Amino acid sequence: MNREELEWCVSVPKVELHAHLNGSVRNSTLFELARVLGDKGVIVFSDVENVIMKDDRTLHEVFKLFDLIHILTTDHSTVTRITKEVIEDFAAENVVYLELRTTPKRNDSIGMSKRSYMDAVMEGLRAVSSVDVDYSPAGLKTNTFNGSMRKKMYVRFLLSIDRRESTEAAMETVKLALEMRDLGVVGIDLSGNPIVGNWSTFLPALKFAKEQGLYITLHCGECL
């Protein structure tokens, strides 16, 4: 692909329907945050340094990287920063409609609940300055920030149930999604390491979500 073709691809308006918040973190941000945790002795930086930069990761390496990201994103300020950067990066590629999926996390040691995690996500969305952001579901009053004549980006959220979670935790995520419908949450996602968990664990929560009118998307078959 030559330069003109690349510029054309970037300029075309795009719709992104499958973006993981944690899977879209900048490599530079991952390096910075991982080095800080390495200096603190929380992780061994050398164990993750090469995995961060690899393009041809095995499934095992992919989830090793996600394990690192899960450690990094159990801090409110980091969640806010990552959200802002991810949305701005998609805006730079001229994505006009973005669906971000993320697993609300609980970390009692720092006072993080699933709701406060999502509040940190919303704070990151509100901090976006490179594009006007609309996060309201269809049919509700439009909510925008930095209102101007600049281009607008529509952002919606799917709350993910991790396969490692219990039925109760999965149901908590669905109820949180219902509470945040007016903040752009439109559905529920089932994701996480495909070799763990049991389908019957999440079925009650997924059925409840469907009954309440939430959209549902499932990750399945990645290791078949």
Q: Where are the domains of the chain?
A: 3-156
Pairing of strands 95-102, 132-134: unpaired
Residue 60 identity? H
Under 8 Å between Cβ of 23 and 16: no
| 32, 93, 179, 222: the active-site residue | 222
Integer angstrom CA distances of residue 175 from 30, 209, 220: 31, 8, 23
Token pair, residue 187, equals: 């559905």
Q: Over the chain, what is the mean pLDDT?
A: 88
Interval 150-171: pLDDT, tens: 789 999 999 999 999 999 999 9
Structure token digits, residue 160: 């993910």
**Is 32 a catalytic site residue?**
no
Sign of CA dihedral 143, 145, 147, 150: negative
* One-letter amino acid for residue 189 of the chain: D
Please state, in angstroms and rounded to a whole number, the distance separating the CA atoms of residues 116 and 139: 26
- Cα separation, 101 vs 86, whole angstroms: 12
CA distance 217 to 205: 13
CB 100 within 8 A of CB 158: yes
pLDDT at 139: 44
Helices 76-92 and 27-40: angle between axes, nearest 10 degrees: 160
DSSP helix/strand/coil, 57: coil
Spell out the CATH class of 3-156: alpha beta
pLDDT in tens, 41-98: 888 888 778 778 777 777 777 777 777 787 877 789 999 999 999 999 999 999 999 9
User: Which DSSP category does 107 fall into?
Assistant: B
Residue 141 has pLDDT above 50, yes or no: no
Give the length of the chain: 224
Residue 124 has pLDDT above 50, yes or no: yes
pLDDT value for 142: 47
pLDDT digits (tens, 9 = 90+) for 189-213: 999 888 888 989 999 999 999 999 9
Please work out, in degrees rounded to the nearest 5, the angle formed at the alpha carbon of residue 153 by the alpha carbons of 152 and 157.
Answer: 150
Sign of the four-CA dihedral 167, 162, 190, 138: positive
Confidence grade of residue 223 (pLDDT, cut at 50, 70, 90): low
pLDDT for residue 224: 57
